[in-house]
Amino acid sequence: MKRLELHISYKCPNSCSFCSEGDQLKKFKGAFVSKESVLNNLKRFARRGFNHLTLTGGEPTLHPDFFEIIRFASLLKYRTYVSSNGGLFSRQSFCSKVIPYLDEVSFSLHGDNARLHDSLTNNPGSFLKLRKAFANIKKRKGKLFVFVNIVATLRNLPYLKDTIEFAADSVSAKQVLISAVAPEGAGKDNFLSLAVPLREMSKHLSSLVDASCRKNMQIRFFGIPMCTLGNFCGFSNDAYWSPRTTVELWRNLGREFLKVTKSYKPVRNRIKVHKCLRCALRNICGGVFSEYVERFGAGEVIPFNHG
């Protein structure tokens, strides 16, 4: 599968404390990539054999031509994945219109209640809309494969298991991704106050995997070294990650353009410290975030032995 990731929107009602796109959203505040550019890129990459499309942002569903984009992607035989905060999916009319053209949706969910979720999105009412979205999706999802992405922070760490169970019960999600705080945008600004120490994360792994298995959900962990996952290293997203091409707005020397980036491994802002060189999983694991090593050191990184 050849993956194309298009950043089509730089507008979002949420202002998540860990938003990795925070700097981009400030730089291109409220901007949308033109429909013409999006459709031209869809055609261009389809001719090159790309067949999986990720639409992201910002909030991609806010793009004024979102429906035309996904309908055109369907005509080009893309498998279409949308990353969303769920806001527009809270409207039944929106769901009825777009779901037939979508294959996969990943919803951002960061708590099992409004107090917790809204405190991290900094958008009162965002949880209520997401809960309505879940109800709408559950009624009519059909072939739609539903993912849930939970960013693990010091604030929601004790409630991750409850959040997984909520996702399974509310929207029948098939896969949950537990993401470490990525040190980009707001995530970098708030890294020290939000990032979960690796040894703390390791204490919760068993209960999280158990909860997902009981609910018949796949679970993956992003941005967490495989050595931290230990016996659960098989659930690392690094082991399932596939190369992709990203197209996003960029600005350089006063000029705005669409930048194309090819990513072959899940190593963005991640490094391997010296002792990683003797790890049996060094060719699969993406390493540890460089910001984490700068802030907390590499003492928690313990290589897997070859034996």
Mean pLDDT to the nearest integer, 126-135: 98
pLDDT at 109 over 70: yes
β-partners of residue 145 are: 104
List the helix and strand counts (H, then E) for the chain: 12, 11
Nearest to 289, CA basis, from 149, 153, 187, 158:
187
Q: Residue 145 and residue 142: Cα distance in Å, rounded? A: 9
Tokens 């031509």 sit on residue = 65
Tokens 């809204």 sit on residue = 118
Q: Residue 92 and residue 88: Cα distance in Å, rounded? A: 9
Mean pLDDT to the nearest integer, 23-49: 97
Mean pLDDT to the nearest integer, 71-84: 99
pLDDT in tens, 138-148: 998 688 999 99
Which pLDDT band, with edges at 50, 70 and 90, does 306 fall under? low
Q: Residue 6 and residue 40: Cα distance in Å, rounded? A: 12
Confidence at residue 305, expressed as pLDDT on a 0 to 100 scale:
82
> In which region does residue 256 sit, left (phi positive, over 0), alpha (psi from -120 to 50) or beta (all else)?
beta
| Beta carbons of 296 and 286 less than 8 angstroms apart | no
Q: Residue 102 and residue 236: Cα distance in Å, rounded? A: 26
| Beta carbons of 78 and 102 less than 8 angstroms apart | no
For the chain, the average pLDDT equals 97
| Beta carbons of 69 and 56 less than 8 angstroms apart | no
Confidence at residue 140, expressed as pLDDT on a 0 to 100 scale:
85
pLDDT in tens, 54-68: 999 999 999 999 999
User: What architecture is the 3-268 domain classified under in CATH?
Assistant: Alpha-Beta Barrel (3.20)
